[in-house]
Amino acid sequence: MEVTVKTAEQLRLTAAEFELIKEKLGRVPNFNELCAFSGMWSEHCSYKNSIKWLKTLPREGAKMLVKAGEENAGLMDIGDGLGVVFKIESHNHPSAIEPFQGAATGVGGIHRDIFTMGARPIAALNSLRFGKLEEDKTQHLLAGVVHGIGHYGNCFGVPTVGGEIYFDPCYHTNPLVNAMSVGIVKAGETVSATAEGIGNPVMFVGSATGKDGIGGASFASADITAESTGELPAVQVGDPFQEKKLLEACLEVIQTGAVVGMQDMGAAGIICSTAEMSAKGGTGMRIDLDKVPTRQAHMKTWELLLSESQERMLLVAEKGREQEVKAVFDKWDLPCSVIGEVTGDGILNFYMQGELEASIPAHELVLGGGAPQYDREYREPAYLQEIKAYNIENIPVPENLRSIADRLIQLPTIASKHWIYDQYDSMVGTANASTNAPSDAPVVSIKGTKKALAITTDCNSRYVYADPYKGAMIAVSEAARNIVCSGGQPLGVTNCLNFGNPFDPEVYYQFVQAIKGMGEACIKFDTPVTGGNVSFYNQNPDGPVNPTPTIGMVGLLEDINDKMTLDFKEEGDLLYLLGSSRNDISSSEYLYKVLGVSKSPAPYFDLAEEWALQQKLAGLIRNKNVNAVHDISEGGLFIMLCECGFNRELGFSIRTNQSVRKDAFLFGESQSRVLVTVPASKVSEFENAMGAFPCEKIGVVTSGEVLIDGEDWGSIDHWKEKYDHAIENYLIKEEAGSALASI
């Protein structure tokens, strides 16, 4: 087969990239080699349109044990000879086409990134975005994605402890499925994704290779169109049982000491793992592809190189110790075969039946090596002018705020997500301390120590759309705030940057500004970005999704008994609002979904003010001045009060602040505010501790009544009923459909 620029373009490489490949090789690549470049130089693997800006993020910190981007996931020191390994990754495009398998393999892939480093995953989170819940398509996607996440995570046996879900029409065609995994590793037991030691065997471990997921990496690097729904084979199929065995076997094989390096096979399969391990080790490999166990006959070289069959690992062992390695995988009934060896020439040579089928310098394929890096142009999007025209004065305060609260609490973005999270095993591992005592960020105990992790994912993409710079700062700040509200100290960040097409200058503007804002906030909170993932092309002919730079953040509690919860404890406890009330309803759920105003600025936010709030709050929690803490987020103060009351069925009576609009006080989403309760006996202590810090006493916890300025707004049970059942009421149709399908 003759390889031309047309072939390259069919493989989603540009004409200029084809020239570059010819230059690097000094010849025209054959089809196999071109496929290798197509996978490795795809956006997904090469970060070619983002790396320039990613490098500007704060990527260093005293507690970082590996450099950002150097390994499969971030690794940070948490003391006592332990490290936390964590990463978030997208599986948006596969989930749009095949929601069940797309989401399931997203979960499988992120866990592999954690245990390939030698860590045992202890918690999973996910950040999801869908279109309007009223739409049949959304209900189909939601049911499939949730089922997929549950199917994989429940069987794999790692608890899904938290996450977030938003519904907005911009995600109708392009849902976002971001999965995060967090693991714990002992110092000295980590494994690097490197190939070292000339002559060392390269071993292939795990499931046999099939034709599923071929071209997945380049598929994820294109817009979704009508044709792409015909690309079904580009979505992989997952087997969580196989991965559970792979986890146990990998952690066991590390104990033998015979492992030199290990990397999971995710995007771009064998070519990616061989190239990255070799490039990192400064070595090459000779691989006999016909020794790779396959589950389909007659697989071609390029198919073997690019297949994204799941639950596979590439492992480099010490020469002569192959049997020790094999014995562990035998015990777990997993295939394990030597498929090649490490060489010293830096070249990847792939053979089939003794014939050389592809020969490429490893270095030329990878990010930081030969992979191209682009500057993309950007310009301020036109819609930002419309946002600047917004004026709160043009919006009258509605008459009946109670009926507005009624609608607000039933909005899918705000209402209880129990229909979703009840389908996830959130308790396996017996370490989730938030099941019986909810907090802003789930708290997960680290067994064998007094320590715990507080973990969260956050991003309100409407804020980022309204102001990419400030919106990204808010995402980082909210993550840090959730951790501080739970009694933790923010440690580090992993990010999942979901954007539209980077060739659109307005989209790229959102990307650049979001990176700048994120970087500034991460410096302020001393939370380096340890790694993550970029997902561009979340776009369809109707336009891009809202810019969604999801922040995954991990925080540490030195003693799990320092954990803080969000539920009201007792009738008579006093309610205080920390931070300043403002005349601000910008970009709130209230303004957008209830009043129907789609373009307004990001809510009020000041980084210094936020930082001061979190410092103050950490002190109050440490000194036990407060007994419940909940930050103000989507839906505003009224919704937060309800959420605090639900767990023990306690209500609240509050006075609104007359200096701001009543709707802004109750439903505004102005940032850097936190609701706390204080037992009556500790009020003077609390007020002394507050000093001059902005804070207002707003009311008292009741036995169940809800009173706003003395007006009876019903009981907490009334609000809980609406909050608990809103989502399932939308889904009755879908449920009936799937029940029929299962007959």
Partner 1 sequence: MKFGVVVFPGSNCDRDMFDALSQDMNQEVIMLWHKDRDLSMFAKEDCIILPGGFSYGDYLRCGAIARFSPLMQSVIDFAHQGGKVFGVCNGFQILCESHLLPGALLRNSHQKFVCKNVFLKDTDNNIFKIPVAHGEGRFYADEKTLDDLEDGGQVIFRYCDEKGQVTDASNPNGAIRNIAGICNVNRNVFGMMPHPERATSEVLGNTDGRKILKDLLMSEELANHLA
Q: Could you list the active site residues? A: 44, 91
**DSSP SS3 for 160:** strand
Closest among 455, 272, 474 to 365, alpha carbons compared: 272
Is there a contact between 237 and 91 (Cβ–Cβ < 8 Å)?
no
Phi, psi of 242 (to 5 degrees): -60, -40
Q: Which is nearer to partner 1, 163 or 361 (CB)?
A: 163
- Beta-strand relationship, 651-654 and 695-702: antiparallel
CA distance 342 to 355: 18
Residues facing 497 on adjacent strands? 534, 549
Q: Which is nearer to partner 1, 99 or 261 (CB)?
A: 99
From first CA to last CA, the distance across the chain in angstroms is: 50
The one-character DSSP state at 200 is P
CA distance 508 to 547: 10
Around 347, how many Cα atoms within 13 Å sit in the side-chain half-sphere? 12
Around 680, how many Cα atoms within 13 Å sit in the side-chain half-sphere? 8
Closest among 490, 498, 485 to 530, alpha carbons compared: 490
**CA distances in angstroms from 201 to 138, 254, 346, 532, listed in the order given:** 48, 16, 16, 30
Residues facing 76 on adjacent strands? 64, 84
CB of 645 to partner 1, least distance (A): 18
Is there a contact between 192 and 465 (Cβ–Cβ < 8 Å)?
no
Angle at 559 between CA 671 and CA 447, to 5 degrees: 115
Residues making contact with partner 1 (CB under 8 A) = 147, 150-151, 154-157, 239-242, 244-245, 332-333, 418, 422-433, 435-437, 445, 447, 560, 735, 738-739, 742
Tokens 């005293």: give the residue.
62
Positions of E strands within 656-738: 674-678, 695-702, 705-708, 711-715
**DSSP SS3 for 503:** coil
CA distance 558 to 82: 12
